[in-house]
A and B are shown apart, each in its own frame.
Chain A
Amino acid sequence: MSEILEILLSANFWAASLRIATPLIFGVIGALVCERAGVLNLGIEGIFTAGAMAGWMAVWLGAGLWGGVLVAALAGAFFGLIHAILTVPLGLSQHVSGIGVTLFATSLSYFIYRTALPDVSSPPRIEEFEPLNIPGLSDLPFVGPALFQQTPLTFLALFLVVATAYVLYRTPLGLAIQAVGDNPSAVESQGLSVYGLRIGVVVVGSAIMALGGAFLTMSAFDAFFFGMVNGRGWICIALTVFASWRPGKALLGALLFGAFDAFQVRLQTEVGAFIPGQVFLMMPYLLSIAALIVVARKADYPRALLVPYFRGQR
């Protein structure tokens, strides 16, 4: 018991929770806006990989860290555009198209990485983002190291949560996004373009997802590995349902998830001798399934999710 308390009381644990949550925040926010507009984006897993690889590669080629972030976002936007074109004007199955985009983005990223770096025994490293030192806040006892010694991408993720919530609930654009995910003909009959809105949202949402991948190679680690995304994208899709498509709840869900993960890693060092490591590694996936089960009964899916819209059809 005292070990558990000790873990919960260490600033280090809370810092790790926020760090683990960061890519998930990007992913859930990206998935959330796409689904709010009525498009399920299962390309997320591949978009994470593409963002991780493209961002890292750009930095490695000398674009600078923020240049890398931009390149990652553009890569995400590119794959998002493919998914958007296939599912919005062409109205193809969002499930299959998403899986296709994931396979495409993943294999393309691997291929480019392998082709650019054919024979390296250990992956080359880059100079990753350093934790920000915010005068005043970072030096606070406990709270400082727990919350304010994060890299800039974590703060960007937190900012995106607030920005997304504001746009979604307070601006004409956000209302249009909510409407197009509920009843596209409401949008079209008011003179707005259903396709334009949906394509735009999927492209931007995918760019945000890709930042989650970029965080992996530019903040969490300093190199790109095959299989490093490891299902994080799928976890984000589950968390989106768990968050009832609300940015605030999405942040909460990602943080809970991060805290749980950080906790089990620390618990593992305590009791790892008795329980195989794989049991701990399974936890995030099982937890995601559990989260889906918990909310399943009351999940209030956007009404037009998965439903293609063809003009003049009501």
Chain B
Amino acid sequence: MVHSPSDAPLVLKLDGITKRFGALTANGDVTLELKQGEILALLGENGAGKTTLMNILFGHYVADEGNVLVARDGQRLAELEPGSPHAALEAGIGMVHQHFTLAENLSALDNILLGTEALSALKSARAPAQKKLAELMARSGLAVNLDMRVSQLSVGEKQRIEILKALYRDARVLVLDEPTAVLTPQESETLFATLKKLSAEGLGIIFISHKLAEVIASSHRIAVLRGGRKVADLPTEACDQRQLAELMVGHEITETVREPGHAGEPLFVMTGVSAGHGREALHDIYMDLKSGEILGIAGVSGNGQTMLARVISGLETPAQGTMTLGNRNLDHASARMMIDIGLARIPEDRHHDGIVGAMSVSENLAIEAIRKPENQQYGLLRFSAMRERARKLIKAYDIRCQSEDSPARLLSGGNIQKIVLARTLETEPKVVLAAQPSRGLDVGATSDVHKRLLAARGRGAGVILISEDLDELMRLSDRIAVIHRGHLSAAEPTETLDRGTLGLRMAGHSGKDAA
């Protein structure tokens, strides 16, 4: 908690914002105020409308009703031209999106200068820019190598560039969307220290989060969004975690509890596996997954998790090393083979790799087993059998859709994940690979995913859980290993680990340093 600047002037006001997408009301009559030098936390679970609201503020979307008011240079609040990021930037609003908006083929400096110079200019004025940035970096503690190509920078550095982009334009309001999602706990602390320093200098800050602890620790005021509406707006002193959690979800939360497990023999083993090249490469991976356990893989995004999932999914052949399931060698396994031997894969990007959006729910439920006799005979599809099985799965997994014939793209993220869960877990696989299985899902859908994974563990399957969410990992995993720059640490029982230790390992410190 930080001390609030109670009598500072308003710098920003969102007045009665309503935004609808078709039948869905993403924001309903939301009013929000921000004072100079204030840190406002915008709390809400996935799908509560936080990002939409900030996108309206920044001009990516136009609100159906309501308007945005900004005070320029200490003047009175004046209306901001809607639908124009340009106008928002001019008015001193800076935004750090959850998915970074950087051109990877340019240097950090180029990205910061982008749009700050007239496009008709015959030359880019770098020297003065570098000077101003050097001062900014020294003052804020945000250090970045300005001449490096962005593609070669780490996630933390990219985030610092994003903040520098805003500061370079003399932003007076800074919006950060889920800024800690990609950081280690220690990096998050550094970030919030920086933000506090900036707010003390008069910068108004809004940060979006669904993490209760950081919201309470690092804000002056907390606004809670639920179902697109603002349900609370309180000074941080008046809040506690339990109350915020209930405001955010709308009912009491029953946390998924992991019963003690009965881990069996090693089931899926990777020995000395290396694959890929560049930042996402894997080096000499060792992993032994036992039956009846959940093995968590922690790490900051971009440290090889994607490649690890691709290798285990049979999409990438390792350059070195061996993989076995039981006594079956999987060195040259294809996706098909992984499915056939009972290795279920839940992809990290469910829209991109999980479903074929234009095909129906029933086709998406059958896609992994389309050549199995239950779905075809002599190469001809058995539609009625496919539909019937789809109807059963829709019921069993509570997939909300109009019918089994609706195109899968029309479903919400949570229901798309249920399609993936249904088709992979229904076959009672021996091993489950779950890559970022709850990313972007709301509390209900997340708890559903967690229950399914625990159920798979309960019936003796081994589960590999790759996640960037430490809370999720610590709640579900029997053991946790950390991936950093493509190296995987030895897995240790969750009981022997804490957030601090994991955070240091995620940042690349070895076990000894942490102890």
Contact = CB atoms under 8 A, between A and B. Distances in A.
**Is there a contact between chains A and B in the complex with CB atoms less than 8 Å apart?**
yes
Interface of A: 170-173, 175-176, 178-179, 181-183, 185-193, 302-303, 311-312, 314
B124 A185 contact: no
B118 A186 contact: no
A190 B122 contact: no
B55 A303 contact: no
A188 to B, nearest CB: 6
A192 B60 contact: no
Contact of B89 (A172, A191, A312): A191
A312 B62 CA distance: 10
B403 interface: no
Among B103, B113, B116, B120, which residue has the most Cβ atoms of chain A within 10 A? B103
Contact of B86 (A175, A181, A192): A192
Given A183-B101, A189-B85, A312-B55, A171 B115 contact: no
B154 interface: no
Contacts of A181: 105
Contacts of B124: 170-172, 175
A153 to B, nearest CB: 25
A183 B60 contact: no
B113 A175 contact: yes
Contacts of B487: none
A176 B102 contact: no
A100 B88 CA distance: 38
A103 to B, nearest CB: 27
Contacts of B120: 173
B123 A314 contact: no
B115 A187 contact: yes
A175 B114 contact: yes
A191 B95 contact: no
**Closest 9 pairs between A and B when the two form their complex, measured CB to CB:** A190-B115, A179-B103, A191-B86, A312-B60, A189-B101, A172-B117, A191-B89, A185-B101, A186-B103
A120 B307 CA distance: 66
Among A186, A187, A303, which residue has the most Cβ atoms of chain B within 10 A? A186
A187 B86 CA distance: 10
Contacts of B101: 183, 185-186, 188-190, 314
A186 B102 contact: yes
Contact of A172 (B55, B85, B105, B118): B118
A171 B99 contact: no
A188 B115 CA distance: 9
A191 B111 contact: no
A181 B105 CA distance: 9
Nearest to B51: A314
Interface residues of B, number: 33
Nearest to B116: A190
A167 B340 CA distance: 54
Contact of A191 (B113, B115, B122): B115
B498 to A, nearest CB: 35
Interface in B53-112: 55, 58, 60-61, 85-86, 88-90, 95, 97, 99, 101-106, 110-111
B318 to A, nearest CB: 20
Contacts of A173: 119-121
Contacts of A302: 105
B165 interface: yes
Given A171-B121, A175-B106, A314-B97, A186 B111 contact: yes
A192 to B, nearest CB: 5
Nearest to A167: B122
A304 B106 CA distance: 14
B105 A188 contact: no
A182 B101 CA distance: 10
B506 to A, nearest CB: 25
Given A176-B114, A182-B105, A189-B101, 17 more contacts: A171-B122, A171-B124, A172-B117, A173-B121, A175-B110, A175-B114, A175-B124, A178-B105, A185-B99, A187-B103, A188-B101, A190-B165, A191-B85, A191-B86, A192-B115, A193-B86, A302-B105
Contacts of B102: 183, 186
A176 B119 contact: yes
B111 A179 contact: yes
B110 A191 contact: no
Contacts of B90: 191
Nearest to B84: A191
A37 to B, nearest CB: 12
A172 B111 CA distance: 10
B282 to A, nearest CB: 21
Among A191, A192, A312, A314, which residue has the most Cβ atoms of chain B within 10 A? A191
A91 B97 CA distance: 23
B60 A188 contact: yes
Given A191-B85, A314-B97, A172 B113 contact: yes
A176 B55 contact: no
Contacts of A172: 113-114, 117-119, 121, 124
Among B115, B116, B120, which residue has the most Cβ atoms of chain A within 10 A? B115
Among B55, B86, B114, B118, which residue has the most Cβ atoms of chain A within 10 A? B114
B52 to A, nearest CB: 9
A182 B165 CA distance: 18
B123 A170 contact: yes
A182 B116 CA distance: 18
Nearest to B110: A175
Contacts of B122: 171
A187 B102 CA distance: 8
Nearest to A197: B119
A281 to B, nearest CB: 38
14 contacts: A170-B124, A172-B114, A173-B119, A175-B124, A178-B105, A182-B105, A183-B102, A183-B103, A186-B101, A186-B102, A188-B60, A189-B95, A190-B85, A191-B85
A186 B110 CA distance: 11
B114 A190 contact: yes
A303 B85 contact: no
Nearest to A183: B103
Contacts of A193: 86
A183 B104 contact: yes
A244 to B, nearest CB: 12
A175 B114 CA distance: 7
A280 to B, nearest CB: 40
Contacts of B121: 171-173
A185 B99 CA distance: 10
A37 B105 CA distance: 12
Contacts of A176: 114-115, 119
Nearest to A300: B105
Nearest to A314: B99
Contact of A186 (B58, B95, B114, B117): B114
A110 to B, nearest CB: 38
Given A171-B121, A172-B121, A186-B111, A303 B86 contact: no
A119 to B, nearest CB: 50
B114 A187 contact: yes
A186 B105 CA distance: 11
